[in-house]
């Protein structure tokens, strides 16, 4: 039996993909959200399996790349959110994509950081930590820009 949050995410993605067909400009965002969602799930599975440093490095780099691409795609669509009047398929797609980063992501990242610290003596793990920090910086920049939007008039 899959956790409830996974089921909600699957339903959200079906809506996300349907909305994206209506507007091809959101393809990059939809693809990035789908990739990041899949990568979060893989990262959770990996950290729960007591990985070797090699596996940790490989999967965490994939995770960091997917996370960075996801938040860059969200940030690229911020002008759409700001300029859109009322509810639209584009705003629904953006909202569904934004929902990808949730509790599962937080759990995956927290467990990953614990493992990275455990293997911190490994040079490859240290480089991987830098990749994850870069992705976190992209996320912080998106959050800052998103929180700075004045959406009250829309």
What confidence category does residue 17 fall into, taking pLDDT thresholds of 50, 70 and 90? low
Query: What are the Cα distances from residue 153, in Å, to 15, 18, 33, 84, 86?
Result: 26, 27, 27, 10, 9
Q: 92-106: buried (b, 16+ CB within 10 Å) or exposed (e) per residue? A: bbbebbbebbeebbe
Mean pLDDT for 18-27 is 59
Q: Give me the pLDDT at residue 86, please.
A: 52
Residue 120 CA to residue 68 CA, distance in Å, equals: 22
Q: Give me the pLDDT at residue 129, please.
A: 94
Q: Give me the pLDDT at residue 21, please.
A: 46
Residue (of 131, 123, 106, 121) closest to 47 by Cα position? 106
Identify which has the larger pLDDT, 83 or 68: 68
Residues in the chain: 154
Residue 50 has pLDDT above 60, yes or no: yes
Identify which has the larger pLDDT, 91 or 150: 91
Task: List the alpha helices (DSSP H) in the chain.
Answer: 4-22, 27-47, 53-76, 78-83, 89-98, 103-118, 123-147
71-87 pLDDT per residue, tens: 999 999 888 777 765 55
């Amino acid at each position: 039996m899959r956790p409830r949050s996974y089921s909600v995410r699957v339903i959200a993605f079906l809506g996300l993909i349907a909305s994206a067909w209506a507007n091809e400009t959101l393809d990059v965002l939809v693809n990035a959200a789908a990739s990041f969602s899949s990568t979060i799930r893989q990262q959770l599975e990996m950290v729960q399996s007591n990985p070797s440093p090699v596996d940790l490095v490989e999967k965490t780099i994939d995770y960091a790349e997917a996370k960075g691409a996801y938040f860059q795609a969200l940030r690229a669509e911020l002008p759409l959110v700001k300029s859109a009047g009322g509810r639209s398929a584009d705003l629904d797609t953006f909202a569904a994509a934004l929902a990808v980063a949730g509790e599962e992501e937080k759990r995956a990242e927290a467990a990953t950081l614990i493992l990275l610290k455990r293997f911190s003596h490994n040079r490859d793990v240290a480089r991987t930590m830098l990749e994850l920090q870069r992705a976190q910086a992209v996320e912080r920049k998106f959050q800052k820009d998103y929180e700075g939007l004045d959406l009250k008039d829309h």
